[in-house]
Amino acid sequence: MEKNVEISMLCQLYGKLLTEKQYEFIDDYYNNDLSLSEIAENNNITRQAVRDIIKKGEKKLFEYEEKLLFMKRMLNQEKRIEKALSELTKIQKDYSDKEIANVLENVKKELRYLV
């Protein structure tokens, strides 16, 4: 996984455990594509200070993942669900019985909520 995608996901999962500034700067940098200089200017601090805050926040995100493994679990789960969905789609196509096709559709709907 690309580093920026990874940090973006980690921030979604554990962002509430960061300080306000760490969260805000990581969000600006990785999700809103602002540069360090832009964030620095918006907050009246140096570019180096922005970088330090982001680095510290990133470190915390990786530490939380190392302990809790929620991202890893989530990605494994998504893989399993995608597989289940594609199997269901496969047999659904062979189905003429409308009632059963409907049930399969409902099951897929439930599962899609999970990814």
d(CA 21, CA 4): 18
- What the block records as the tokens of 115 is 């990814």
The region, left, alpha or beta by phi > 0 then psi within -120 to 50, assigned to residue 89 is alpha
The residue from 33, 44, 67, 96 that contacts a second copy (CB under 8 A) is 67
Binding residues among 16-45 for a second copy as defined by CB under 8 A: 16-17
Residue 8, SS3 per DSSP: helix
CB under 8 A: which stretch of 14-22, 23-31, 37-45, 51-59 binds a second copy? 14-22
CB of 75 to a second copy, least distance (A): 13
Selected binder of a second copy within 3, 14, 36, 51 (CB under 8 A): 14
Least spacing, CB of residue 72 vs a second copy, in Å: 13
Q: Does 91 bind a second copy (CB under 8 A)?
A: yes
**C-alpha to C-alpha distance for 73 and 23, rounded to whole angstroms:** 23
Phi-psi region of 38 (alpha: psi -120 to 50; beta: other; left: phi over 0): alpha
2-10, 21-29, 46-54, 97-105 -> range binding a second copy (CB under 8 A): 97-105
Choose which of 90, 93, 96, 98 interacts with a second copy (CB under 8 A). Answer: 90
Q: What is the DSSP letter of 53?
A: H
